[in-house]
Structure formats: C-alpha cells, structure tokens
Amino acid sequence: MLSHADVFAVVEIAARLIRAEDFFNDLIYSHYEGTYRKLMAIETTCIGAYPKPSYLRVGNWSESSQEAGDEQDARAFSYVAECIDDPELLDRATREAVQDQVSCGIDIPTDGEQRRENYIHYHCRHLEGFDFAKLTAKVHRNGAAVADLPTITGKIVPRGEHFLDTDYKMAQSCTDRPVKITVPGPVTIIDTSADAYYNDERRLAFDLATALNFEIRALADSGCRHIQVDEPLFVRNIDNALRYGIECLERCFDGVPDAVQRTMHMCCGYPGHLDDPDYLKADPDGYVRLAKALDASCIDRISIEDAHRHNDLDLLDQFLATTIIFGSVSIASSRIETVEEISERLTSALEHIDRDRLVVAPDCGLMMLDRELAMSKLSVLCEAAQSV
C-alpha cells in the first residue's frame, strides 16, 4: 500500500504532466493560429496611378486657371499632354513604382501608370476616331469639372497594334508578385471626351467596349491575371450604368479566361489638389443602387472608396459573391492614417463580408501624393491588413 507521501508524489507528477500538456497545447494552438492568420492575411493592392518622379516630363491631369464660365461649381482642368519621355526613363519609373509598392507590402502592385498623361486618354490615343488636335470645351463629371477634351470624329476601332501587353510585361519583370493593369471604361471615356460623330451614347459605349476588349484579351494572353476597368462615372451616372454600362463592362471582358480576375473600380471623384474639402464628389448612395446588378455580373472584384467618406457598411451585405476592394486610405489628404483606425474599420467591415472576399487598397490612384507620403500610407495600410 502507498504511503501518504507516495500518493502526494504521484499527484504532483500528474499535475506537472497536466500543466505541461496545457502548455504545449497552448503553444501548438498559438503556432497554428499565427500560421492561420498569416495564411489568411487580408490581401492588399493598389488602384492604378503612383506618384511620378521628377525626371519624367509626362504629367498628370491638373487643375488649371481656365475659366469655368457659368458653371459655378465646376473646376477647370487640363488633361491633354502626350507623353514624350525617353522609353528608358519610363521603364525606370515603372520599375521604381512597382518596387516601392512591393517594399511597402502590397500583394498586387500596379505599373503605376507612369507612361500615362492620365488614366483615360493614354488608351484613347491608341484608338481610331479620337482627334487630339481638335479639342472641345466640355463640362463633365456631373458639373464638377470643365476642360478642353479630345473630340470623337469617327468610328471607334483599335489602331491594330497592341500596347498594354508590352506595358504589362515590363512591369511584371520587376517583381514576382502579380501586377495589375488598368483600362478606362466606356462610360468614363464618354464623359471625358466630346462626341461629334455618334450622337448615340449607347452605340458609342459598345464600340468603345469592343475596342477595349481587343486590348484586354491581349493583356490576358500575355499572362496578366489582374485586369481592372476603371468606371468612376458609374456612380455619377447611375441610369446609364444600369441601362448599358454594366453590359459594356461584360463586353470588355468577353472571351477572357476564367483565370483572370475581372476587376472594376468606381470611386467618387478626385479633387483638384490635396486637402480640398469642397470638391463636388459623387453621391455614395450610388454604390447601394448599383450593388446588386454588379454582384450579378461577370465582375470578380469591385473597388470602392471608404476612407475619404465612410459608407454604411450594410452596403457590403449586398455583395453575395463579389470580392470587395475596400478603400482604406485617402488619396486626397496629406494626413497619414493610423494602423489602429484602419484596423478598426476593417474589423467592422468583416462583420458584413467574408474574410476571403475582402481586399484592402487606397481609395483610388496615388498620383496626387508625393512618393514619401504615398509610401507612408501604403505601409500603414499593409500593416493594418496584417494585424486584423
């Protein structure tokens, strides 16, 4: 028979074994939880434009001193200035833009649109039917802007030679992460040009979609797996977006392999300069009105802004299948967001959408920021995405 001392010794050994088991269970759980969080870290991307270096002469669209006329709320802009930079400098700028994004932690960088005078007209210069020598003054963006814009004087068709596949291959050579390439959408092109030929926006939109599809297919054939069509005008012209815009969007991606992530971006508008609180932005209710129709379309990912002006997060509940690229840093403010505020917002968003259908990005392109400010915002964004 065991003595009391022996019984106490056995109990002590058993207790130590239990504590050891609990310790190792906690250790294993902690390890796998950390691995899970790492594997399930929210993906990050950029939207399109990245700050251009000073050695490039190609600029961006900018606010100008042009008189807005009777349109009191319209801001005057200058859009049209063809890129005349040395191709080697453009390659260098693209390489730096991609590598900056990657160094900040971005999973899906863009080419930074370093070759583009703006995200719309660079593509239009490769289409027959646009006359860049004949400019027409036009108030656009629902009265938010006025500018001299290229005029459509003939049928829109591709010129015959692809160009974005070359841009993609150069950018993709800079990283082993997948590079996203952007394309302006038909509704947005129509708003940022002057039609003197079609006099029928629907017919013009479908011709534009067919011409864009010519380039998008070449991008897919070259290996690009993230292709984004930019349609910020959807939220400014909801009726046209619903009447024919979404159908045109699907035509843009016609024949594109399933392996390609079909992305569309719709922000609510850029101001003319940083820290401009009075810019006439689109009504964010537009997202709500478009959500179900877009969710039922062929689009895999939809990019919306949320940092500059928060949405009602019930909006996310309307997307049953689509991945949402969630704008989490402002592109028109010099203030750098904190990791905590972005993390808190993402945590709230995850109450309305599955984790694997949420991607984090800036609200829109970063062209208004300088390089240091852009990298600071992207670094904070990526740290927040990792922390949630």
Alpha-carbon gap, residue 188 to 230, rounded angstroms: 8
Say if CB 140 and CB 191 are below 8 A apart: yes
- What residue ranges do the domains of the chain occupy? 43-387
Distance of CA 265 to the CA centre of its chain: 6
Amino acid at 275: D
112 contact partners, CB below 8 Å, separation of at least 6: 49, 50, 93, 94, 97, 98, 101, 171
Rg (CA), the chain: 25
Token duo for residue 266? 């719709």
187 contact partners, CB below 8 Å, separation of at least 6: 205, 231, 233, 234, 237, 240, 241, 245, 248
| DSSP bridge partners of 325 | 303, 359
Alpha-carbon gap, residue 73 to 296, rounded angstroms: 35
A 10 A CB-CB count for 89 gives: 15
For 153, the enclosing helix (H) or strand (E) is: strand 145-158
Size of the chain, expressed as the number of residues it contains: 388
For 195, the enclosing helix (H) or strand (E) is: strand 194-195
* H helices present in 242-300, as ranges: 246-252, 285-295
**Per-residue CA distances from 2 to 6, 12, 13, 203 (Å):** 6, 15, 15, 96
Amino acid at 133: A
Q: List the helix and strand counts (H, then E) for the chain.
A: 11, 12
178 contact partners, CB below 8 Å, separation of at least 6: 108, 172, 225, 226
Architecture of domain 43-387: Alpha-Beta Barrel (3.20)
Say if CB 185 and CB 264 are below 8 A apart: yes
pLDDT digit of tens for each residue in the chain (388 aa)? 556 556 455 545 655 655 555 554 554 444 444 444 445 799 999 999 999 999 998 765 544 444 444 444 444 445 556 667 799 999 999 999 999 999 999 999 999 999 998 889 999 999 999 999 999 987 655 544 677 899 999 999 999 899 999 999 999 999 999 999 999 999 999 999 999 999 999 999 999 999 999 999 999 999 999 999 999 999 999 999 999 999 999 999 999 999 999 999 998 877 777 888 777 778 878 999 999 999 999 999 999 999 999 999 999 999 999 999 999 999 999 999 999 999 999 999 999 999 999 999 999 999 999 999 999 999 999 999 999 9
